[in-house]
Amino acid sequence: MRTYLGVVVASALTAASAVGLDYVNEDFEGSFPPAGWTTAYGGTGNASWSQASGGPEGKYASGSASSFGDGLVWATFMSPEFNVKGNTTVYYRFDYGLWGNGHGVEGGEFYIVYADEPARRLQYRELEGLPSWAEFAGSAAVSADDRFKACWRVWADDYWRYHFAFLFIDDVIIADQPRHPAVEPASVGRVKALFR
Ligand SMILES: [Ca+2]
């Protein structure tokens, strides 16, 4: 029976590969930004994405935005292109932490865009401020033949007082099924304390 199940699983993975999905599976332990990942900045103030260490699984991507009398400033971090040829649902999960000085004029976002049309968001989720790392997971309906990018944006916006936000992400997985056994990290589902 074990052998039989093994054959079934192997066949399922082969089928998933055959439809052309490019998995995104990034733990940010290597060079930064990882190959194919890009950053973009806008507004007036200080904004950056960089590699930091000491996260729940070692190194992670750290975004920051700070504004002091300058209005909106933002920093975006974008995954490599991926597709889901033959599929119409893409599943995503990542660990994140979001922290700011809490005046409601700073925050973080996750969204998916068409790779050829980055202004067109087909999935948009606001990220909730957290005092610790947590998992964020969901799915999005997509067209089977397009290519996409996943994006994270941290922002701050104020003309009168100093505002800042930090967004941390780690263990990003984008696949054609939730909890894909081929790309799932050992830490999936855990909530971990960070700010101590
Ligand atoms: Ca990591």
User: What is the domain partition of the chain in residue ranges?
Assistant: 22-175
Residue whose C-alpha is closest to residue 184's, from 53, 27, 34, 52: 27
Q: What is the pLDDT of residue 185?
A: 54
CA angle 134, 137, 142 (to 5 degrees): 155
Residue whose C-alpha is closest to residue 152's, from 178, 171, 124: 124
Q: DSSP class of residue 192?
A: B
How many Å apart are CA 60 and CA 30, to the nearest integer? 10
Query: In angstroms, what is the span from residue 30 Cα to ligand 1's centroid?
Result: 9
Query: In angstroms, what is the span from residue 97 Cα to ligand 1's centroid?
Result: 13
User: Which amino acid would we find at residue 110?
Assistant: F
Q: What is the pLDDT of residue 183?
A: 60
Query: In angstroms, what is the span from residue 2 Cα to ligand 1's centroid?
Result: 33
Q: Which two tokens stand for residue 31?
A: 């060079």
Query: In angstroms, what is the span from residue 24 Cα to ligand 1's centroid?
Result: 14
Query: In angstroms, what is the span from residue 169 Cα to ligand 1's centroid?
Result: 8
Mean pLDDT of all residues in 173-191 = 61
Query: In angstroms, what is the span from residue 86 Cα to ligand 1's centroid?
Result: 31
Query: In angstroms, what is the span from residue 69 Cα to ligand 1's centroid?
Result: 34
Query: In angstroms, what is the span from residue 143 Cα to ligand 1's centroid?
Result: 30
Cα dihedral 52, 27, 153, 194 sign: negative
Mean pLDDT for all residues in the chain = 79
Q: Which two tokens stand for residue 101?
A: 């000085």
Query: In angstroms, what is the span from residue 100 Cα to ligand 1's centroid?
Result: 22
CATH value of 22-175 in 1.10.510.10, 2.40.110.10, 2.30.30.110, 2.60.120.200: 2.60.120.200
pLDDT per residue as tens digits for the range 62-118: 999 998 877 899 999 999 998 876 788 888 999 999 998 877 788 999 999 999 998
The distance from CA 63 to its chain's CA centroid, rounded to whole angstroms, is: 11
